Amino acid sequence: MYFADNHFTLKTATLQLLKKAGRPSERLVSHDNCKFTKPTEHECVHVKEITEASGTEEAEADAEYDNAVNEAIRGVQDAVMVINEHLEEVRYEIEALEAE
């Protein structure tokens, strides 16, 4: 059961980190590195030409993110199933001890 607990904790932490980071295509942009010439104008370092290659890269990054989230969810589900199986075994053992 120790392995299931650790696996559950690891996958839960992974899932929390992924959710906090968010999908690559939906992450907020910080303008910390932009050049501000006037209070209302700045040269944004994030403005770039959108090409098929950059769109493909973004789609691949999103797909990797989705796969990592799905893997973490499956890991949590598997760990929960193992924990529940162990709990069921403990219940049977308790019932057997109480019946004695």
pLDDT, residue 42, reads 59
15's CB contacts (< 8 A; 6+ apart) are: 69, 72, 73, 76
Q: What is the rounded CA–CA span in Å between residue 17 and residue 31?
A: 23
Q: Which pair of tokens denotes residue 72?
A: 């973490």
Percent of the chain surpassing pLDDT 70? 65
pLDDT tens per residue, range 46-87 = 556 556 666 788 888 889 989 988 988 898 888 889 889 999
The residue type at 75:
G
